[in-house]
A and B are shown apart, each in its own frame.
Chain A
Amino acid sequence: GEDVEQSLFLSVREGDSSVINCTYTDSSSTYLYWYKQEPGAGLQLLTYIFSNMDMKQDQRLTVLLNKKDKHLSLRIADTQTGDSAIYFCAEFSSNTGKLIFGQGTTLQVKP
C-alpha cells in the first residue's frame, strides 16, 4: 500500500539551513506537498511540487524531487525561530484519490 516516511526530529540553529526529507512509495503520485503545523493549529500548505518537476523554489523554500528514488526534500534557507513547527510531507495518490501523510518532522530552531 501507499506509505510516506519522514524522520521525526530536526534541530538547527537560527540562520542555518534546514533540510527535511521524505520518502514515498506510490509511483502514481501526481502532487507532493509540504504542510506546516504550529502547536494547536491546523495544517498550512507551504508549497507543493508536481511529479514532472525536479525542483521548485519559493522564497526561502526549495523543494527537490527525485522521482526515481521517490525522495522529496524541503530546504528552508535562513531558518528562523518562527519556523519551529511540525512539517508534514504528503502525496496525492491517483490510485485512491487521497492525501497520504507522513508522520511529521518536528523542526526545532535554537536561537
Chain B
Amino acid sequence: DAMVIQNPRYQVTQFGKPVTLSCSQTLNHNVMYWYQQKSSQAPKLLFHYYDKDFNNEADTPDNFQSRRPNTSFCFLDIRSPGLGDAAMYLCATSRPRTGTYYEQYFGPGTRLTVT
C-alpha cells in the first residue's frame, strides 16, 4: 500500500544532543511537510519541500532544519533540542495544489522526548 512512513515512532534524546527524524513516502508526491504537534494543540507547520525547493515558515526556530535528498525521503534535524521541543512530529505529503482535489497524507508521527 502507498503510504507515509516515519521512523522511529518514539525517540528519546538528551537536552542539546542533535537528533534526526526520518520520513519516507511511496506515494511519489512532490510536496513533503513537517509539522510539530504539542499536547492538546493543533499541528503547527514547520516547513515544506516542493520538490527540492525548501519553504520555511517565518516562525520556525533556526534550531530546526530539514533535508530532502530525493523524492521519497525527508529528514527533520533538530540541532540542539530543548525541553520545549518535546512533541509529536508529523510528516505529510501531497500533490501540488493545482488540480481538482487537494489532500495531505499524514504519517503516524514520531513522539520526541527530551531528557
Given contacts A103-B41, A103-B42, contact A42 B106 (CB under 8 A): yes
Q: How many A-B residue pairs have CB under 8 A?
A: 44
Given contacts A42-B109, A43-B90, A97-B97, contact A104 B40 (CB under 8 A): yes
Do B90 and A42 have beta carbons less than 8 Å apart?
A: yes
Do A48 and B90 have beta carbons less than 8 Å apart?
A: no
Q: Which residue of A lies closest to B101 (CB)?
A: A31
Query: A22–B108 Cα gap in the complex (Å)?
Result: 24
Do B42 and A41 have beta carbons less than 8 Å apart?
A: no
- Looking at chain A, what size class is its interface with the partner chain? 20 to 34
**Neighbouring B residues of A101 by C-beta, 8 Å:** 42-43
Contact of B108 among A41, A102, A104 (CB under 8 A): A41
Do B111 and A43 have beta carbons less than 8 Å apart?
A: no
A99, CB-defined interface residue at 8 Å: yes
Chain A residues with a Cβ under 8 A of chain B: 4, 30-31, 33, 35, 40-45, 48, 88, 92, 94, 97-99, 101-104
Chain B residues with a Cβ under 8 A of chain A: 6, 40-43, 45, 90, 92, 97, 101-109, 111
Given contacts A42-B108, A102-B42, 4 further A-B contacts (CB under 8 A): A35-B106, A42-B90, A104-B40, A104-B41
Q: Could you name 7 residue pairs across A and B whose Cβ atoms are closer than 8 Å?
A: A31-B102, A31-B103, A41-B109, A43-B92, A44-B106, A94-B97, A102-B42
